[in-house]
Amino acid sequence: MKTEFEKPSLSQATPTEQVPSRPQRGWTMTDLCKVLAFFITLAAAFVVGLLLFLRPAVSEVEGRELTAFPEFTWERFADGTYFADITTWYADTYPGRDRMISMQHRLKELYGIRQEQLIKPPTTPPEDEGNVERWSDGLYIKGGSAFEIYIYDDEKASRYAEVLNLARERMPNVTVYSMVVPLSYSVYMNRKEWESIGASDAADSIARIYGKMGQGVHTVSVLPELMAHQKDYLYFHTDHHWTARGAYQAYRALCREMGIAPKELEDWEHLTFTGFFGSQQSKVPDVALKEDYVEAWVPSATNRMTVYTWDGDQKIVADDWPIIRKETGNGAEIGCYYGPRWKYNCFIAGDHPLTVIEKPRLQDGSKILVVKDSYGNAFSPFLVDQFQTVYVADIRSFVGRMGISLPEYVEREGITQVVFVNNINTVSTPWLVGCMEGLLQ
């Protein structure tokens, strides 16, 4: 011990002067191969990480923009967030990320027996819900399909019904229809199944919601029509929307309520877009869901519409677009990319504040307004052949963007029928119901 104390600082000592070192075994060929393989792999990963031009900006698998390189500020430098952001940027945009994520998802399938999965939302929705587009009570995955769960809430149901009653009151000269669309679980699962995952009885819930609406609101029962065709492809496996086939059954139910004869699917041109992986797949990227395809039926009278949308200068501009966009891929025409995640946007080009479809040959003055969430996108094209003008207003953006209330717009345009098309989870999302209330002020 004494000699060690007297040893001078050894920072400059050569290895030959070293203190007794640990016994070391000699190296083997395996050691050499291991060291070479490991460091060559790391060096390759290092070089790939430096190839900035290979770094993606968007993740197709996750359906989001990837983290951008952070901007430098002294404040962020001092508290370390600048460095933390660089670390995030580096990982988030690493070349080949999407392919690796897909491989990881396939690997995770081996973690257990995964025919069925139940994914509950991580937190309750915030009160203001400003950033929550739509709330659901979880996902149940079975047989390669993701089912959204709905839980009935009487208070929320009452508020939605009050909004419809207000619509009737504020637009006394039009016929108001309410169409609450059930979720896929209520069509494809039996009572025992949906009870076991804690979901509510959709038929009973819709009946209760309709029961709270006044006499003047025409309620449209969609569930029986859907149940009668439950063997059909009515809802997507990987997306929270219904398919156009599902929407067609709702169209038939509306026609019955209106007292008009519905057209048959065979009357329209039929299109199919394959390779669709929708919003639910993005929520559970590590679960292999069944690939979807999007079917669309092109209106006979016209396939053109005027879309009022928000341009880069934050002004409303009117554009002439197709109702059913036939091409997929990079859509230069509407500036919208229909990648695997976005194929549902082939219906009326997705969500926009207002869409107006004029049928040039018909001059009977029939005008219908669809006030909708995104379920209305697949539904609206079916109305085109039977009305002179079909207006489609999005509940989230109509008032904010168009600068006019719904009753004023209805009066100005001489609209005689208004259909509210919303899925049952929209009814449970206070922010969205608040948007609808805002439409009527």
Partner 1 sequence: MVFSALFFLFFFFVLCMALVYVHKSLRGQNAVLLLFSLIFYAWSGPMLLLLLCGMTFLCWLSGRILGRVTSPAHRRLVLAGTVTLCVLIFCFFKYTGLLVSTLQTIFRFESAVPDIVLPVGISFYTFQLLSYVIDVYRGQTPPQKNYLMLLLYAALFHQCVAGPIVRYSDICAELQCRTVSLSNISAGITRFSLGLAKKAILANYCGTLVASALAADKLAGASAGTVLLGTVFYMLQIYLDFSAYSDMAIGMGLMCGLHYCENFRYPYCADSITDFWRRWHISLSTFFRDYVYIPLGGNRKGRLRQVFNMFVVWLLTGFWHGASWNYVLWGLYYFVLLTAEKLLLRKPYAAVALWRKILRRCFVLVAVWFGWMIFYFEDLSLLGTAVSCLFGRNGFWDMTSRLTLLNNLFFLLVAVAACTPIVPTIARRLHRAGERAVLWQGVAGTVSAVMPVALLFLSFLALVGNTYNPFLYFQF
Binding to partner 1 in span 262-291, by CB under 8 A: 285
CB of 400 vs partner 1, minimal distance in Å: 31
| Residue 336 binding partner 1, by CB under 8 A | no
| Residue 132 binding partner 1, by CB under 8 A | no
**Alpha helix (H) ranges present in 109-153?**
none
What gap in Å lies between CA 287 and CA 109, rounded to an integer? Answer: 7
| Residue 293 binding partner 1, by CB under 8 A | no
Convert residues 24-63 into a mask of x (bound to partner 1 by CB under 8 A) and - (unbound).
xxxxxxxxxxxx-xxx-xxx-xx-xx-----------xx-
Helix (H) or strand (E) holding 37: helix 29-50
What gap in Å lies between CA 344 and CA 379, rounded to an integer? Answer: 12
CB of 407 vs partner 1, minimal distance in Å: 39
Q: 286 or 385: whose CB is closer to partner 1?
A: 286
What gap in Å lies between CA 179 and CA 206, rounded to an integer? Answer: 9
CB of 328 vs partner 1, minimal distance in Å: 25
CB of 14 vs partner 1, minimal distance in Å: 8
Q: 31 or 408: whose CB is closer to partner 1?
A: 31
C-alpha to C-alpha distances, 159 to 48, 151, 156, 204, 437, nearest whole angstrom: 55, 15, 5, 17, 9
Q: Find the binder of partner 1 among 56, 70, 118, 362 (CB under 8 A).
A: 118
Contact 152, 208 (CB under 8 A): yes
Backbone angles phi, psi at 38, to 5 degrees: -65, -50
Stretch that binds partner 1, among 112-120, 210-218, 234-242, 353-361 (CB under 8 A): 112-120
192: Cβ–Cβ under 8 A, 6 or more apart, which residues? none
| Residue 197 binding partner 1, by CB under 8 A | yes
Backbone angles phi, psi at 292, to 5 degrees: -100, 165
What gap in Å lies between CA 419 and CA 348, rounded to an integer? Answer: 17
Q: 34 or 304: whose CB is closer to partner 1?
A: 34
Contact 309, 403 (CB under 8 A): no
| Residue 191 binding partner 1, by CB under 8 A | no
| Residue 128 binding partner 1, by CB under 8 A | no
| Residue 403 binding partner 1, by CB under 8 A | no
Query: Which residue in 170, 132, 175, 17 sits closest to 430, CA to CA?
Result: 132
Query: Which residue in 279, 248, 270, 264 sits closest to 181, CA to CA?
Result: 248
| Residue 78 binding partner 1, by CB under 8 A | yes
CB of 164 vs partner 1, minimal distance in Å: 31
Query: Which residue in 119, 38, 115 sits closest to 283, CA to CA?
Result: 119
| Residue 74 binding partner 1, by CB under 8 A | no
HSE-up of residue 353 (Cα within 13 Å, Cβ side): 22
Stretch that binds partner 1, among 111-119, 208-216, 222-230, 393-401 (CB under 8 A): 111-119
| Residue 90 binding partner 1, by CB under 8 A | yes
Q: 16 or 215: whose CB is closer to partner 1?
A: 16
| Residue 73 binding partner 1, by CB under 8 A | no
Q: Find the binder of partner 1 among 111, 190, 266, 329 (CB under 8 A).
A: 111
Stretch that binds partner 1, among 76-84, 171-179, 384-392, 401-409 (CB under 8 A): 76-84
